[in-house]
């Protein structure tokens, strides 16, 4: 915002819409470590079209666990949360994502577990602010004729 002579305020209007990224493959939940013993799960290629700086994004997810595991969540190289379970609780989490951690393209979200037991994560959603009000959808052409 700038002030012009004569006391008038000059403003610039910028499109800002809230968008969400729902990781569909997390809807049923996923366990870490998995049956083969792998202690982390990576989600790669996460896109945030039109991401703008300013309002901070937020991540939401739920957990349940067995034993006394410790877990961490990382977006790209930025740690988002770490927690060690002490009792049998199912929880929903929401964490503010630090400025600059979410990129417009090619994000990687990692859930890691250590200690005894396992964690089931699910319903992972990231909410962010976008400067684009439309979404680009690829057009798929077919050789089929329509009757």
Residue 48 belongs to a domain with what CATH number? 2.60.120.260
Output the pLDDT for position 5: 59
Q: Quick check: is 58 in a domain?
A: yes
Render pLDDT for 49-66 as a digit per residue (tens, 0 to 9). Answer: 999 988 999 999 999 999
- Helical (H) or strand (E) element with 9: strand 9-10
pLDDT given at position 1: 45
Mean pLDDT along residues 113-141: 90
Range of the domain at 71: 15-130
**Number of domains observed in the structure of the chain:** 1
Residue 81 lies in a domain: yes
Look at residue 40 and tell me if it is in a domain: yes
Q: Per the domain annotation, does 146 fall within a domain?
A: no
Q: Is the pTM of this model over 0.85?
A: no
142, part of any domain: no
Q: Are 56 and 43 in contact (CB under 8 A)?
A: no
HSE, side-chain direction, 13 A CA sphere, residue 19: 18
On whether the CB atoms of residues 121 and 62 are closer than 8 A, the answer is: yes
Residue 2 to residue 64: CA distance in whole angstroms: 50
Asked if 59 and 22 touch (Cβ cutoff 8 Å), the reply is no
Evaluate whether residue 136 is within a structural domain: no
Closest CA to 22 of 141, 105, 139, 122: 122
């Amino acid at each position: 915002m700038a002030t012009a002579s004569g006391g008038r305020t000059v403003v610039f209007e910028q499109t800002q819409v809230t968008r969400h990224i729902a990781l569909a493959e997390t809807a049923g939940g996923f366990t870490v470590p998995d049956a083969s013993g792998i202690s982390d799960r990576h989600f790669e290629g996460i896109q945030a079209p039109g991401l703008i700086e300013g309002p901070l994004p937020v991540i939401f997810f739920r957990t349940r666990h067995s034993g006394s595991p410790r877990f961490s969540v990382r977006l790209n190289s930025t740690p988002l949360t770490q927690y060690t379970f002490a009792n049998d609780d199912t929880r929903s989490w929401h964490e503010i994502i630090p400025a600059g951690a979410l990129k417009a393209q090619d994000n990687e979200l990692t859930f890691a577990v250590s200690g005894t037991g396992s964690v089931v994560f699910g319903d992972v959603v990231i909410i962010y602010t976008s400067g684009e009000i439309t979404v680009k959808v690829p057009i798929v052409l077919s050789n089929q004729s329509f009757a």
